[in-house]
Amino acid sequence: MNPLRLVGTALCCVAIVFGGLTFPSDAQLDPNFYGKTCPQLQSIVSQILSKVANKDARMPASLIRLHFHDCFVQGCDASVLLNKTGTIVTEQEAGPNINSLRAAVSSVLTGGPGWLVPLGRRDSLTANQDLANTNLPGPSSTLPELKSAFANQGLTTLDLVSLSGAHSFGRSRCFLFSDRLFNFNSTGKPDPTLDPAYLKVLQKQCPQNGPGDTRVNFDPTTPDILDKNYYNNLQVKKGLLQSDQELFSTPGADTIGIVNNFANNQNAFFQNFANSMIRMGNIGVLTGKKGEIRTQCNFVNKKKKSPELDITGVTSTESIEGGVVSSI
């Protein structure tokens, strides 16, 4: 079975379990929210995501970035999963989301930290493509632009640097950073904040006027592991995206000290990454009677008639990791 189908199956099956349950109207997020109604939830999710990761090592990175793409647009409400319909203008067709959709979060599977995830979120009834186009920072964002995007979500500079560590693993496509290699800011020259040797490697992988679809590792050292090497790379001018290198190469930036701290102390990075993931996961959540619990992940519930379970439309079955346009 296609890895994405496995994720879709897990999401939809869990939705069906929860769809028949009732919760108090004053329900709040709680790591033990499903302790009585679905005590095997943690085991179910872990098993499914382990299968997904075993089939495609790129998936965990995409899963974390999907969480970011969802939370920065009207909150963490699964609006990014909604397909286009007569009444839904899907976020999946927004510029930052094209070719970048997955569904879940995985850190432990790639050697990163674990944390208690507050549970009890409900699903949105709408999507917002306009917000997806404006709220998500891009791969060429400057540090002030990155800070502004995070501040608009109630997140701090520390959250920005911590969550950027998700680029310790995964891949990006050449067209998202090729301007840095040949014509940075229309200067006709490469980005001066790129290490010359690393620049030559990237130019070979992503030749000028090439197709742009080649996938390149975010981290040239440990590409499939969530670790502190992302920050060590920034120190030696080996950040893949401009938005990565901005954290260290912006003169006088307050992010430099945080990068240095994480580069020297992986435990500090892990702790802050987990804390920031929880903070981001609490943005604009729907609880109680707000929203709904979808019985089909990618469509709002039909009224009066229960929809049949169909996971084929969750998103394309093509392996699409690497097309993520946002900075995280």
φ, ψ for residue 241, nearest 5 deg: -95, 155
- The CA distances from residue 128 to 77, 80, 94, 107, in Å, are 11, 8, 9, 28
Surface-to-core class of residue 5, CB atoms within 10 Å of its CB (0-12 exposed, 13-18 middle, 19+ buried): middle
Given a cut of 90, is residue 125 above it in pLDDT? no
Name the strand (E) or helix (H) holding 74: none
Q: Residue 263's domain is classified under what CATH number?
A: 1.10.420.10
Alpha carbon distance 193, 53 (integer Å)? 33
Name the strand (E) or helix (H) holding 84: none
Tell me if 250 is assigned to some domain: yes
Least confident span in 11-15, 27-31, 143-147, 176-180: 11-15
pLDDT classification of 226: cutoffs 50, 70, 90: confident
Domain count across the chain: 1
Surface-to-core class of residue 31, CB atoms within 10 Å of its CB (0-12 exposed, 13-18 middle, 19+ buried): middle
Tell me if 194 is assigned to some domain: no
Tell me if 211 is assigned to some domain: no
Tell me if 226 is assigned to some domain: yes
pLDDT for 157 equals: 98
Copy the structure tokens of residue 127: 């999507």
- Tell me the per-residue pLDDT of 85-113, one tens digit each, with 9 for 90 and over: 777 666 666 655 544 333 333 444 455 56
Copy the structure tokens of residue 223: 């590409």
279 close to 273: Cβ distance less than 8 angstroms: no
pLDDT classification of 140: cutoffs 50, 70, 90: very high
| Contacts of 217 by beta carbon, 8 Å cutoff, 6+ apart | 170, 171, 223, 240
Tell me if 165 is assigned to some domain: yes
> What are the binding residues for substrate?
137
Copy the structure tokens of residue 130: 């306009």
Mean pLDDT taken over the chain: 77
Catalytic site residue from 65, 67, 69, 237: 69
Beta strands in the chain (DSSP E): 171-173, 215-217
Given a cut of 60, is residue 222 above it in pLDDT? yes
Tell me if 139 is assigned to some domain: yes
Tell me if 327 is assigned to some domain: no
Alpha carbon distance 99, 324 (integer Å)? 7
Tell me if 185 is assigned to some domain: no
Copy the structure tokens of residue 233: 């790379």
Tell me, yes or no, if 67 is annotated catalytic.
no
Query: pTM, whole model, 2 decimals?
Result: 0.75
> What are the binding residues for heme b?
167
- Tell me the per-residue pLDDT of 33-65, one tens digit each, with 9 for 90 and over: 878 888 887 788 778 777 877 777 667 667 777
79 close to 291: Cβ distance less than 8 angstroms: no
Given a cut of 80, is residue 274 above it in pLDDT? yes
Given a cut of 70, is residue 314 above it in pLDDT? no
φ, ψ for residue 150, nearest 5 deg: -75, -40
Q: What is the residue range of 272's domain?
A: 3-170+218-281
